[in-house]
Amino acid sequence: MSTSASQQVEIHDIPEAAAEPQVQRHNFLIMALYQISLRCGWIFKTESIVMPAFLDALGVSAWVRGFLPLFNRFGQSVPPMLLASTVAGTKQKKSIVMSTMLLFSVSFFAIGFLWNLYAQESWMPALFLLIYALFFMVVGVHNLAARSVQGKLIRANRRGRLMLAGNVGGAITSVALAYFLFPKWLPADGPHDFFGMFAFAAVMFMVSAFIALLVIEPADPRTKPTQRISKAIRDAKLTFQQDARFRRIALVGALTNTSIMLFPHYQPIAKEYLHLSLDNLMPWVIAQNLGMAAFSLVLGPIADLKGNRAVIRLLLIVMIATPLLALFLIHQPWGGKVYWIVFVLVGMTPFSIGILFNYTLELTEASNHPRYLATLGLVVAIPAALSPLVSYSMDFFGSPTPLFSAVAILLVIAWLLTFRLPEPRYGETLPQK
């Protein structure tokens, strides 16, 4: 890899209309508040803790839990790929952010009402999974639009600070809410009030929707969207063919995202092996969010100063340790006392996805961001497509060890491949063949 002047490439930044200092300050503040309010809703539906507990309350097995990461990554890959041209052709993408956030709210109001009325019905798990699959399709379009807005309005060397502000501010606020509200809705003894929990999440998503409208976003030229599957596939193929740097980050991203297959299982294996109850959910959620905030304090500035490649490397070390630590602790008589450490580390997986997308934003100009982000989202979803099948291995072997060990090995490979990534922040290119 070379950094010579002859091999420097353009470092893509924001449009001139969004670069005015007062506009930058305003948009940074609004986007930080947007992320904080979103976290205050999301903490009450965490993929690693709350949703597995909800499925346990519905009485499902491990292979059914495996659909959670499948829906998560499918929804954040295929719909964005199909709608990337629609997002790119929208004059103000904040309108898409707002409308999708309102659909977040509708989804969780619906799940809460269904739990309240039909929790004991045999068809309830299937209906929940259907709504949850649709929810994550909306999440995928939302994330594509939100990341496009960030790439358009926030300078590359300030995105780490924005992530830090959103994560730290969001962690402090959401942890305070969880501390007071989790015991009310999920007491150690007594009925579980998932309706109250999900309704509160829905309200916070609604608040986020209206905050998103406050950003100052220069209008883009409106273009006619092309929504055919063949066009989406051609766009993805074009991205791979034209940019060798993208091919490398896509491979690293796919391997990194194998960790999401373990998300639905950390909480149930603690319940099974360590005999822990639902009153542990609140400290685990707090540990996960405070852990993410603590890592953000370190990794956000590193991303701004050194680039996202260095942060991906550091994150992967933590992610490799997570499944190995979980396997170790569930076989220790004292493991339940310190199992919260696992959830501190689990918080790095969603953080890593944001860093992967931030890296990708720097590979191309803003007009190509939706196409690049949608293609990366499709690639990193591939491991999640196998999630129900690999989750069945826990039922088949009667142990989480084969699955957790295999994921740790794949994460080691991803870490090694980061040493073949160029750093676009400094215009690094790949060696000429």
Q: Is the pLDDT of residue 244 over 80?
A: yes
Domain at 19-426: CATH architecture: Up-down Bundle (1.20)
What would the mean pLDDT of 363-377 be, rounded to a whole number?
Answer: 84
* Cβ neighbours for 333, distance < 8 A, ≥ 6 positions apart: none
Name residue 46's amino acid: T
Confidence (pLDDT) at 433: 47
Residue pair 194/57 in contact (Cβ under 8 Å)? The answer is yes
Residue pair 404/74 in contact (Cβ under 8 Å)? The answer is no
Q: If pLDDT is split at 50, 70 and 90, which confidence band does 13 have?
A: low
What would the mean pLDDT of 278-302 be, rounded to a whole number?
Answer: 84
The HSE-up count of residue 256 (CA atoms within 13 Å, CB side) is 33
Q: What are the C-alpha distances in Å from 291 to residues 50, 172, 287?
A: 17, 11, 6
Instruction: Return mean pLDDT, the chain.
Output: 86
Confidence (pLDDT) at 5: 39
Greater confidence, 64 or 274?
274
Helix axes 21-42, 194-212, angle to 10 degrees: 170
Residue 429: phi and psi, rounded to 5, are -120, 175
Confidence (pLDDT) at 217: 87
Dist. CA 175–CA 1, nearest whole Å: 43
Lowest-confidence pick of 213-227, 237-251, 310-324, 327-341: 213-227
Domain positions in the chain are 19-426
Confidence (pLDDT) at 8: 43
Greater confidence, 30 or 160?
30
Q: If pLDDT is split at 50, 70 and 90, which confidence band does 128 have?
A: very high
Q: Is the pLDDT of residue 221 over 80?
A: no
Name residue 230's amino acid: S
Residue pair 107/168 in contact (Cβ under 8 Å)? The answer is no
DSSP β-bridge partners for residue 2: 429
Dist. CA 367–CA 146, nearest whole Å: 14
Complete DSSP assignment for 109-129: HHHHHHHHHHTT-TTHHHHHH
The HSE-up count of residue 148 (CA atoms within 13 Å, CB side) is 35
Confidence (pLDDT) at 17: 59
The vertex-85 CA angle with 84 and 91, nearest 5°, equals: 105
What would the mean pLDDT of 290-306 be, rounded to a whole number?
Answer: 84
What would the mean pLDDT of 355-377 be, rounded to a whole number?
Answer: 86
Helices (H), 257-307: 266-274, 281-306
Q: If pLDDT is split at 50, 70 and 90, which confidence band does 225 have?
A: low
What SS3 state is found at 376? Answer: helix
Residue pair 391/62 in contact (Cβ under 8 Å)? The answer is yes
Residue pair 105/209 in contact (Cβ under 8 Å)? The answer is yes
Q: What are the C-alpha distances in Å from 88 to residues 104, 144, 223, 227?
A: 22, 10, 8, 12
Confidence (pLDDT) at 232: 72
What would the mean pLDDT of 106-119 be, rounded to a whole number?
Answer: 94
Q: Residues 169-197: pLDDT tens digits?
A: 998 999 999 999 988 898 877 778 899 99
Confidence (pLDDT) at 15: 64
Confidence (pLDDT) at 10: 45
Q: If pLDDT is split at 50, 70 and 90, which confidence band does 16 have?
A: low
Token reading at 417: 């491949």
Dist. CA 427–CA 431, nearest whole Å: 13
Helices (H), 43-91: 50-58, 62-65, 67-75, 78-88
83: left (phi over 0), alpha (psi -120 to 50) or beta: alpha
Confidence (pLDDT) at 210: 96
Confidence (pLDDT) at 337: 92
Token reading at 22: 């007062």
